[in-house]
């Protein structure tokens, strides 16, 4: 439990100082949405905006990145690989955003290590808020091992108290970063209460296996648009595609871009074959992957209960209903 | 001395006239700037206007299309079609912030070597004066808005009751296999495919029933479906029927709400109505207020605004997937051979996608707003479609999309004597 306190203006000053050496990424308002973006000035930060509409995945697995570029040069061909320049601070992350990275670490930091992800991960410090202002539409973090005040996957957890935040320094990385901040002792202020997030039933892996041929997937697919909103706003959906493109200046880029199991083209392979030709198969794939295939391989659900897919789906395909359905079918 | 900017220009030249004209310019030793990279095409009618957008996306500073003089086309009519398509693409590109100086359509015959040199020389100079094309996104520019149309109904409860009754009867009497409507979801209402009387009791109609259900009919082809549709949806359905995509005799149309579009379909177009007959509720309301506001901005502001909008885009394709008229088996955006687009999720590729979609909906979009309501990023996509509708209406006149299915689409016809802006009439 934290014994330290930082006032809101001291926190702003600290972030301003940090931005001399770090890229500070924080929730900002863009139109009627809240997204993580690098901020030039702390005044851009949307302090009271709650959960961002889209996850921070972009800063670890960018939506679109030239991982290698071949450029004609006088000496022949120059080869450049994508590198993150300055270290990053992800400010305003929520416990589920931290957990999402822990879930992706299992895949990307396992052998063979994904060098691009690993570099971004190593160079980023997570400074998050406890969700005293939650929950939001669709939240169910407690179902998948998280919680509105869960500290373990962040480097620093800030808990709102009267006039500022109680500072819980979780990791050594957090300790190094916070060293320059003006902290004082907590003076008896109690952190604001955290919301109750009721856990949903989570079926065992065997129950998921048993539901493979459930007609329910077809019912969902009937209204599913086959867009990619759920996978692109998801903090842990990690599918990507790699292709080369030629630039007008003669260079060639190897692009790594997000891909989505919900798109018909995702599984298409040479010869025109598509092993998942129907939307039913693609809808089923998304949830089987999250609650069966990934847990079997990596030991954790590929879902942190952030609820963004619930809030954003244009046809209200609600992952909470799916969890409940599979759990009830198993009974 | 500052280096002179040498623009890169792509030229699409018709084989029979303009390419021969270029050849003549060369053999006559006429001098003209070497900035134009020539692509020889069989006819200016072969120039899909997306070639122009594609060239700009790939870094061209200007694009010129040259064909046979009107009346002289080797294939009789190719250049008339080219002229129409180019005129719409030109206005759409200008709307997106491309300066008109970077675009040109003109006519050069095989005997006009000197004219070729003159046209290319003038155009190159004009593009050179514009400089390189780059405008940064500006997220601070507010989206212009038009007055919101009134809600479809003052009280939705009676509509829901009426809908349930109609649906129950249709299903019990086995007149349809499915009633496609809405049910209450966990956040607002969501599409429901009711197949039994029990399921029909779950149907609702409320203010959160936003998407165009006609879009879902392709999932249940060859079944008899009753579908709840608003007037704009019904007009989109008419377009689909006209394009041979659905069979009217399999459908039972339950009309609801007043039309916020151009004009209503007659009540006889529906098989049943919820509430009163459809009517036009905004006959006096100007249709293109927001579009006209953007038209009035300087090009740089338009570019900065749209770059910010396309920057927000996730390339999730929700707009396309929610659109009843986007039914291609394979979208150009995902086609591999030839690949029109890279997989990059960047502003250029996203902008090209939206431009392509708007262009492919020319004369077809009925303003149902399904794309806008499905977009998770809040992009005002309707403005692109409205711009195209405005241009089509202004240039070709009299397209009541979806009301008059017998009428040819704007790009499948032409008038020989039409005078279109920027189309070589000078």
ipTM: 0.95
Read off the pLDDT of residues B191-223 as tens digits, 9 standing for 90 and up: 999 999 999 999 999 999 999 999 999 889 889
Question: How many whole angstroms separate alpha carbon A219 and alpha carbon B194?
Answer: 11
- CA-based R_g, chain A, Å: 21
**Between vectors from CA A307 to CA B214 and to CA B211, what angle results, nearest 5°?**
15
CB neighbours (10 Å) of residue B142?
Answer: 8
Residue A90: pLDDT over 60: yes
Q: In what order do the strands lie in the sheet with B103-107?
A: B36-41, B9-14, B62-67, B103-107
B283 interfaces chain A, CB cutoff of 8 Å: no
Burial (Cβ within 10 Å: 0-12, 13-18, ≥19) of residue B234: buried
CA distance B404 to B238: 8
> Are the beta carbons of B207 and B231 closer than 8 angstroms?
no
Residue A169 and residue A286 share a domain: no
Question: Is residue B69 a contact partner of residue B27, using CB atoms and an 8 Å limit?
Answer: no
CA distance A25 to chain B (A): 17
A325, pLDDT greater than 60: yes
Q: Quick one: pLDDT at residue B283?
A: 45
Residues of B in contact with A257 (CB under 8 A): 343-345
Q: Is B191 on the interface with A (CB under 8 A)?
A: yes
Between B398 and B204, name the one with better pLDDT. B204
Tell me, yes or no, whether A217 and A312 share the same domain.
Answer: yes
A314, B342: Cβ pair inside 8 Å? no
Indicate whether A222 and A80 sit together in one domain. Answer: no
Q: Is residue A192 part of a domain?
A: no
**Closest CA–CA distance from residue B323 to any residue of chain A (Å):** 10
CA distance B258 to chain A (A): 23
In this complex, do A222 and B59 lie within 8 Å of one another by their Cβ atoms?
no
Are A177 and A222 members of one domain?
A: no
Confidence at residue B424, expressed as pLDDT on a 0 to 100 scale: 87
Q: Is residue A162 one of the residues assigned to a domain?
A: yes
Task: Report the residue from A241, A265, A316 with minimal CB separation from B185.
Answer: A316
Take residue A203 and report the two structure tokens written for it.
């079926």
Tell me: do A220 and A324 sit in the same domain: yes
A227 neighbourhood in chain B, CB within 8 Å: 316-318, 320-322, 374
**Average pLDDT in the A164-180 region?**
96
Cα distance between residue B71 and residue A210, in whole Å: 69
Nearest to A314 among B192, B318, B346 (CB): B318
| Mean pLDDT for the stretch of residues A131-140 | 96
Phi-psi region of A180 (alpha: psi -120 to 50; beta: other; left: phi over 0): alpha
Which of residues 32 through 71 in chain B touch A, CB cutoff 8 A?
Answer: 58-59
Containing A5, the helix (H) or strand (E) segment is strand A4-7
| B186–A258 CB contact, under 8 Å | no
Closest CB from B193, B334, B345 relative to A64:
B345
Nearest CA in chain A to B192: A223
Predicted confidence band of residue B408 (pLDDT cuts 50, 70, 90): confident
> Which of A140, A283, A314, A318 should one mutate to test binding to chain B, selecting the residue with the greatest count of B CBs within 10 A?
A314
| Residues A134, A61 share a domain | yes
Q: What percent of chain A is modeled with pLDDT above 70? A: 100
Provide the strand spans (E) within B185-332: 189-194, 203-204, 225-229, 251-256, 272-274
Q: Are residues A170 and A232 in the same domain?
A: no
In a domain, A198, yes or no: no
List chain A residues with CB under 8 Å of B186. Answer: 310, 316, 318, 320-321
Closest CA–CA distance from residue B208 to any residue of chain A (Å):
11
Asked, for residue A199, whether it belongs to a domain, the answer is no
- Quickly state the pLDDT bin for B2 (edges 50, 70, 90): low
Query: Contact A314/B344, CB-based, under 8 Å?
Result: no
**A223 contacts in chain B (CB < 8 Å):** 190-193, 216
| Secondary element (H or E) of residue A7 | strand A4-7
Model pLDDT, residue A189: 84
Nearest to B410 by CA among B97, B52, B86, B53: B86
A179 and A288 in a common domain: no
Name the band, by pLDDT with cuts 50, 70 and 90, for residue B150: confident
Q: Do A227 and B59 touch (CB under 8 A)?
A: no
Whether A152 and A294 share a structural domain:
no
Number of independent structural domains in chain A: 2
CA-to-CA distance for B297 and B386, rounded, in angstroms? 17
Q: At what angle do helices B78-95 and B299-312 cross, to 10 degrees?
A: 80
Runs of H (alpha helix) within chain A = 8-18, 95-108, 115-122, 172-178, 205-210, 216-223, 229-233, 279-288, 294-298, 308-312, 319-330
DSSP 8-state class, residue B363: T
User: Does residue A191 fall inside a structural domain?
Assistant: no
* Same domain for A178 and A214: no
Q: Which residues of B105-134 are buried (b: 16+ CB within 10 A; e: fewer)?
A: bbbbbbebbebbbebbbebbebbbebeebe
- Which residue of B342, B347, B372 to mutate against A (max A Cβ within 10 Å)? B342
A74 and A144 belong to one structural domain: yes
DSSP letter, residue B261: S
- Cβ within 8 Å, pair A314-B334: no
Q: Which of A150, A185, A220 is the last residue of a domain?
A: A185
> Cβ–Cβ of B316/A318 closer than 8 Å?
no
Residue B396: CB partners within 8 Å, gap ≥ 6?
Answer: B84, B410, B418
Asked if residue B345 has pLDDT above 60, the reply is yes
Report, as an integer, the average pLDDT of A173-179. 97
Q: Which residues contact A103 (CB under 8 A, 6 or more apart)?
A: A236, A298, A300, A301, A302, A304
The verdict on residue A95 lying in a domain is yes
pLDDT of A1 reads: 57
Asked whether residue A195 is domain-assigned, the answer is no
Out of A137, A232, A255, the one facing B316 most closely (by C-beta) is A232
Residue B4 has pLDDT above 90, yes or no: no
Distance to chain B for A221, nearest Cα, Å? 9
Structural domain including A8 reads 4-185
How many Cβ pairs within 8 Å bridge chains A and B?
106
Per DSSP, the residues of A24-82 read EEEEEEETTEEEEEE-SSGGGB-TT--S-SS-SGGGTS-SEEEEEEEEEETTEEEEEE-
Summarize pLDDT for A34-43 with one digit per residue, the tens: 999 999 999 9
Are A181 and A264 found together in one domain? no
Residue B14, strand partner residues: B41
Enumerate the residues of chain A whose CB falls inside 8 A of the CB of residue B216: 222-223
Residue B302, sorted as left (phi over 0), alpha (psi -120 to 50) or beta, turns out to be alpha
For B340, which residue in chain A has the nearest alpha carbon?
Answer: A245
Residue A200 domain flag: no
Q: What is the pLDDT of residues A200-238, one digit of tens each?
A: 999 999 999 999 999 999 999 999 999 999 999 999 999
* Mean per-residue pLDDT over chain A, rounded: 95
Average pLDDT over residues B324-341: 92
Contact between B139 and A259 using a beta-carbon 8 Å cutoff: no
pLDDT of residue B148: 77
Contacting residues of B for A137, CB less than 8 Å apart: 187
% of chain B surpassing 70 pLDDT: 95
Integer Cα distance of B230 and B327 in angstroms = 20
Mean pLDDT of B329-341: 91
Residue in B closest to A255 by C-alpha: B344
| Residue B67: burial class (beta carbons within 10 Å; 0-12, 13-18, 19+) | buried
The contact set of A with B (CB < 8 A) is 30-33, 53-54, 63-64, 137-138, 219, 222-223, 225-229, 232-233, 241, 243, 245, 247-248, 255, 257-260, 263, 265, 279, 310-312, 314-316, 318, 320-321
Domain stops at, among A118, A152, A185: A185
What average pLDDT score do residues B361-389 get?
A: 94
Last residue of a domain, one of A137, A154, A185: A185
Pairing of strands B203-204, A23-30: unpaired
Do B187 and A311 make contact, defined as CB atoms within 8 angstroms? yes
pTM value is: 0.95
Between helix B347-360 and helix B299-312 the angle, nearest 10°, is 100
- In A, which residues are within 8 Å of B192 by CB distance? 223
Of B322, B325, B354, B324, nearest to B341 by C-alpha is: B354
Give the number of C-alpha atoms closer than 13 A to the C-alpha of residue A261, restricted to the C-beta side.
Answer: 19
pLDDT at B358 over 70: yes
Residues of B in contact with A43 (CB under 8 A): none
Closest CA to B228 of B239, B244, B216, B240: B216
Question: Residue A2 has what pLDDT?
Answer: 72
- A316: nearest CB among B188, B320, B343: B188
Confidence of residue A272 (pLDDT cuts 50, 70, 90): confident
Closest Cα in chain A to B143: A31
Does A77 score more than 80 pLDDT?
A: yes
Give the residue on A whose Cα is nearest the Cα of B374: A314
Q: A237-257, pLDDT tens digit by residue?
A: 999 999 999 988 889 999 999
pLDDT computed for residue B3 by the predictor: 74
Of B59, B185, B321, the CB nearest to A227: B321
Contact B418, B77 (CB under 8 A): no
Query: Token pair for residue B39?
Result: 């692509």
């Amino acid at each position: 439990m934290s014994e330290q306190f930082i006032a809101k203006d001291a926190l702003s000053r600290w972030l301003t100082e940090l931005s001399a050496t770090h890229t500070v990424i924080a929730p900002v308002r863009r139109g009627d949405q809240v997204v993580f973006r690098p901020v030039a000035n702390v005044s851009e930060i949307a302090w009271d905006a709650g959960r961002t509409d889209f996850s921070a995945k972009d800063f670890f697995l960018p939506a679109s990145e030239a991982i290698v570029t071949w450029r004609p040069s006088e000496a022949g061909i120059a080869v450049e690989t994508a590198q993150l320049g300055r270290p990053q601070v992800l400010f305003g992350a929520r416990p589920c955003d931290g957990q999402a990275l822990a879930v992706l670490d299992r895949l990307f930091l396992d052998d063979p290590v994904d060098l691009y992800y690993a570099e971004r991960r190593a160079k980023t410090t997570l400074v998050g808020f406890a969700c005293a202002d939650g929950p939001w539409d669709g939240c169910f973090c407690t179902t998948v091992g998280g919680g509105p005040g869960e500290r373990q996957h962040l480097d620093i957890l800030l808990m709102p108290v009267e006039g500022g935040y109680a500072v819980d320094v979780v990791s050594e990385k957090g300790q190094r970063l916070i060293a320059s901040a003006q902290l004082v002792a907590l003076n008896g202020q109690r952190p604001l209460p955290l919301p109750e997030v009721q856990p949903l039933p989570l079926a065992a892996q065997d129950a998921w296996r048993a539901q493979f041929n459930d007609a329910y997937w077809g019912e969902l697919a009937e209204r599913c648009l086959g867009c990619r909103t759920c996978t692109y706003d998801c903090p842990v959906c990690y599918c990507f595609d790699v292709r080369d493109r030629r630039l007008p200046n003669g260079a060639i880029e190897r692009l790594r871009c997000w891909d989505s199991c919900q798109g018909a083209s995702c599984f298409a392979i040479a010869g025109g074959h598509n092993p998942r030709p129907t939307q039913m198969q693609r809808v089923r794939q998304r949830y089987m992957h999250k609650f069966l295939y990934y847990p079997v391989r990596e030991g954790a659900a590929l879902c942190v209960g952030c609820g963004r897919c619930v809030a954003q789906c244009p046809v209200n395909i609600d992952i909470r209903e799916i969890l409940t359905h599979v759990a009830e079918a198993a009974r | 001395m500052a280096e002179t900017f040498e623009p890169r220009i792509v030229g699409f030249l018709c084989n029979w006239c303009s390419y021969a004209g270029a050849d003549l310019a060369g053999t006559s030793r006429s001098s003209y700037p070497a900035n134009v990279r020539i692509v020889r095409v069989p006819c200016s009618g072969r120039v899909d206007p997306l070639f122009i957008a594609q060239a700009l996306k790939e870094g061209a500073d200007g694009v010129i299309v040259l064909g046979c003089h009107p009346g002289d086309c080797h294939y009789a009519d190719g250049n008339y079609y080219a002229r129409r398509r180019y005129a719409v693409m030109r206005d759409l590109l200008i709307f997106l912030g491309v300066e008109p100086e970077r675009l040109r359509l003109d006519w050069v015959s095989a005997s006009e070597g000197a004219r070729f040199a003159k046209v290319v020389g003038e155009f190159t100079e004009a593009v050179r004066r514009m400089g390189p094309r780059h405008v940064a996104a500006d997220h601070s520019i507010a989206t212009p808005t038009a007055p919101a149309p009134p809600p479809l109904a003052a009280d939705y409860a009676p509509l829901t009751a009426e809908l349930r009754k109609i649906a129950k009867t249709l299903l019990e009497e086995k007149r349809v296999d499915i009633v496609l409507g809405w049910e209450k979801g966990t956040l607002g209402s969501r599409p429901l495919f009711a197949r039994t009387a029990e399921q029909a009791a779950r149907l609702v109609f409320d203010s959160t029933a936003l998407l165009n259900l006609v879009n879902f009919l392709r999932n249940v082809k060859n079944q008899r479906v009753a579908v709840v549709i608003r007037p704009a949806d019904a007009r989109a359905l008419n377009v689909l029927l006209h394009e041979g995509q659905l069979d009217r005799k399999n459908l039972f149309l339950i009309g609801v709400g007043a039309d916020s579009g151009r004009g209503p379909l007659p009540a006889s177009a529906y098989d049943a109505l919820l509430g009163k007959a459809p009517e036009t509720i905004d006959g006096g309301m100007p249709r293109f207020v927001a579009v006209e506001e953007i038209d009035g901005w300087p090009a740089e502001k338009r570019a900065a605004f749209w770059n910010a909008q396309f920057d927000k885009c996730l390339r999730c394709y929700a707009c396309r997937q929610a659109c009843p008229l986007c039914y291609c088996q394979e979208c150009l955006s995902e086609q591999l051979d030839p690949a029109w687009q890279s997989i990059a999720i960047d502003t250029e590729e996203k902008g090209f996608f939206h431009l392509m979609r708007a262009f492919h909906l020319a004369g077809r979009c009925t303003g149902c707003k399904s794309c806008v309501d499905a977009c998770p990023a809040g992009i005002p996509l309707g403005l692109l479609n409205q711009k195209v509708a405005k241009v089509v209406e202004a240039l070709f006149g009299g397209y009541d999309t979806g009301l008059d299915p017998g009428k040819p689409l704007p790009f499948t016809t032409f008038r020989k004597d039409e005078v279109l802006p920027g189309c070589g009439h000078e």
